[in-house]
């Protein structure tokens, strides 16, 4: 049975899109998740929404309890995860307001718990294709239908944060063929893969980081303003995509 977990990023923590919504507090072996789960139904599909940074956005990126978050969603029966996230663009054609559906990541974090397999047994999880290609295709086709500008099969680099990049770092990340940058996708996608859950990121470009000389360097205020302007597009996309997920027979993650 398909159940979709939505992990909300900035401005999308708890959209009012669920029928029969109720809150569930989950305890995990890894401590408390970032928030309670808001559970309900969208077009006949069970959904659980979690606020990655807490309901009041009080958890900075490194302190997000990613293992507790993913464990909680798995424990509640989630088979798929749609994770919204704000990203900075490292490419001219990925303009602020555009959506990006990455297919690859680069891990530039240093301080995070990145696996469930750190005791008793060693498991080397395949990670060549970390994001679910079926979800990327569904997100792309729905974006076309809804006339939402998007980019697919891009590479996201996740940095530790909470600071933003220097210009030297931003240019270096571009030279590594990264297309967008954020502070949240890793280890979230890795842990979802370890738990055999289908995962896709819905990344909203909010700025041009700091590499583009003619643009103002990124600020938190800039990110929030763009997210607020465009959050309705992501919610429309959720509503369009989620009913289609149950049509895919792809429960098992290889």
Tens digit of pLDDT at every position of the chain (254 positions): 899 999 986 555 556 788 999 999 999 999 999 999 999 999 999 999 999 999 888 999 999 999 999 999 999 999 999 999 999 999 999 999 999 999 999 999 999 999 999 988 889 999 999 999 999 999 999 999 999 999 999 999 999 999 999 999 999 999 999 999 999 999 999 999 999 999 999 999 999 999 998 777 778 787 777 777 778 899 999 999 999 998 875 654 54
3-state secondary structure of 223: helix
CA distances from 150 to 55, 57, 153, 212 (A): 27, 26, 10, 20
For 27-64, write each residue's pLDDT tens digit.
999 999 999 999 999 999 999 999 999 988 899 999 99
The counts of H helices and E strands in the chain are: 5, 9
Concerning whether 137 is annotated as a catalytic residue, the answer is no
Does the annotation count 20 as an active-site position?
A: no
Catalytic annotation, pick one of 209, 232, 249, 250: 209
What is the pLDDT at residue 9? 60
Catalytic residue among 13, 46, 179, 207: 207
Residue 51 tokens read as 């606020």
Domains and CATH numbers, the chain: 3-245 (3.40.50.1580)
Question: What per-residue confidence (pLDDT) applies to 15?
Answer: 60
pLDDT at 228: 76
User: What angle do the packed helices 220-245 and 133-146 form, to 10 degrees?
Assistant: 100
Three-class SS of 129-188: CCCCHHHHHHHHHHHHHHCCCEEEEEEEEEECCCCCCCHHHHHHHHHCCCCEEECCHHHH
pTM: 0.93
């Amino acid at each position: 049975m398909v159940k979709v977990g939505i992990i909300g990023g900035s401005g999308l923590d708890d959209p009012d899109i669920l029928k029969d919504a109720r809150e569930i507090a989950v305890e995990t072996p890894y401590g408390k998740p970032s928030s309670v789960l808001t559970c309900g139904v969208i077009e006949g599909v069970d959904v659980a929404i979690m606020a990655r940074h807490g309901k009041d956005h009080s958890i900075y990126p490194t302190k997000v309890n990613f293992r507790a978050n993913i464990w909680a969603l798995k424990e509640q029966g989630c088979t798929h995860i749609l994770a919204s996230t704000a990203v900075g663009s490292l490419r001219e054609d990925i303009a602020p307001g555009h959506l990006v559906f990455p297919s690859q990541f680069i891990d530039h974090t240093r301080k995070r718990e990145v696996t469930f397999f750190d005791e008793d047994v060693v498991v080397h999880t395949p990670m060549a294709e970390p994001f679910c290609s079926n979800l990327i295709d569904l997100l792309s086709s729905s974006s076309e239908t809804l006339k939402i500008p998007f980019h697919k099969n891009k590479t996201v680099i996740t940095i530790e944060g909470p600071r933003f990049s220097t210009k030297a770092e931003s240019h270096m990340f571009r030279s590594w063929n990264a297309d967008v940058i954020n502070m949240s996708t890793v280890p979230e996608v890795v842990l979802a893969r370890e738990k055999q859950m289908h995962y896709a990121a819905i990344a909203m470009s909010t700025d041009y980081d700091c590499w583009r000389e003619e643009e103002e360097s990124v600020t938190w205020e800039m990110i929030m303003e763009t997210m607020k302007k465009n959050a309705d597009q992501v919610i429309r996309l959720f509503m369009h995509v989620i009913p289609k997920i149950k049509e895919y027979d792809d429960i098992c993650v290889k």
